[in-house]
Homo-oligomer: A and B are copies of this chain.
Amino acid sequence: MPVTASKVKRRGLMLVLSSPSGAGKTTLAARLLKYDPGLRLSVSATTRAPRPGEVDGEDYHFVSEEEFLRMQTEGEFLESAKVFGHHYGTPRAKVFHDLEEGRDYLFDIDWQGAQQLESRALGDVVKVFILPPSREELERRLRARNQDPEDVVLARMAKADAEISHWAEYEYVIVNYDLDESEEMLRAILLAEQLRRYRQVGLADMVRGMIREE
């Protein structure tokens, strides 16, 4: 079991991971979720059709376009995006309820999602950017993945550049030289942020009971 600050009542946090594709973010996210069973991914709402095997309410909340737009208009999303014609969004209510209970969420989103999230939940959001060790290494990883034509690789690199250009909006930066080391860094950030005084909402009462009344 991971060390947590769980003996004191605390408010959860939203750990945001962003990076260019190819920097190791998805692997690191999977490792962190495995390490800390108290950490969870939020279930997004989407307008795209379920794929074989996907379960409504588990993989996604599958909703109609009308329903999605209504939720968006009424401010029910912490962040939302349109990708290849389909809407995706993180419903606020469930996440906020769980944060109150001291549960933590992991978000694997890009700089635009991170900006939205922060604007709607400042103080609960901890933003971590994962950088590749070098451009050469990033390019190598993007090429190694598939046998894509050159123009596809170049487009992917341009997208990576655009994502990397937002690194300075993040509180923490991990340069992913080594997955094991990077995972330890990510664990440290999660634990440290759990230990922030203002998140440990049970401390004030605890200290009140500890100091002798005059």
Q: Known: A157-B212, A189-B192, A211-B164. Contact between A200 and B173, CB under 8 A?
A: yes
Q: Known: A7-B175, A174-B195, A193-B192. Contact between A134 and B203, CB under 8 A?
A: no
* Residues from 127 to 181 in A contacting B, C-beta threshold 8 Å: 129, 131-132, 134-135, 138, 157-158, 161, 164-165, 167-168, 170-175, 177, 181
Q: Known: A172-B195, A211-B161. Contact between A185 and B131, CB under 8 A?
A: no
Q: How many residues of A contact B (CB 8 A)?
A: 45
Does A210 sit at the interface, judged by CB under 8 A?
yes
Residues of B within 8 A of A164 (CB): 207, 210-211
Q: Known: A185-B195, A212-B161. Contact between A207 and B174, CB under 8 A?
A: no
Chain B, Cβ-Cβ closest to A214:
B161
* Residues from 174 to 214 in A contacting B, C-beta threshold 8 Å: 174-175, 177, 181, 184-185, 187-189, 191-193, 195-197, 200, 203-204, 206-207, 209-212
A3 to B188, CA, bound (A): 10
A212 to B162, CA, bound (A): 10
A170 x B188 contact (CB < 8 A): no
B177 x A7 contact (CB < 8 A): yes
Residues of B within 8 A of A181 (CB): 3
A185 x B191 contact (CB < 8 A): yes
A135 to B191, CA, bound (A): 25
Residues of B within 8 A of A129 (CB): 197
B3 x A184 contact (CB < 8 A): yes
Subset of 22 A-B contacts with CB under 8 Å: A7-B175, A7-B177, A129-B197, A131-B207, A138-B210, A157-B212, A161-B211, A164-B211, A165-B207, A167-B197, A167-B207, A171-B197, A172-B195, A173-B195, A173-B197, A173-B200, A173-B203, A184-B191, A185-B192, A188-B189, A188-B191, A189-B195
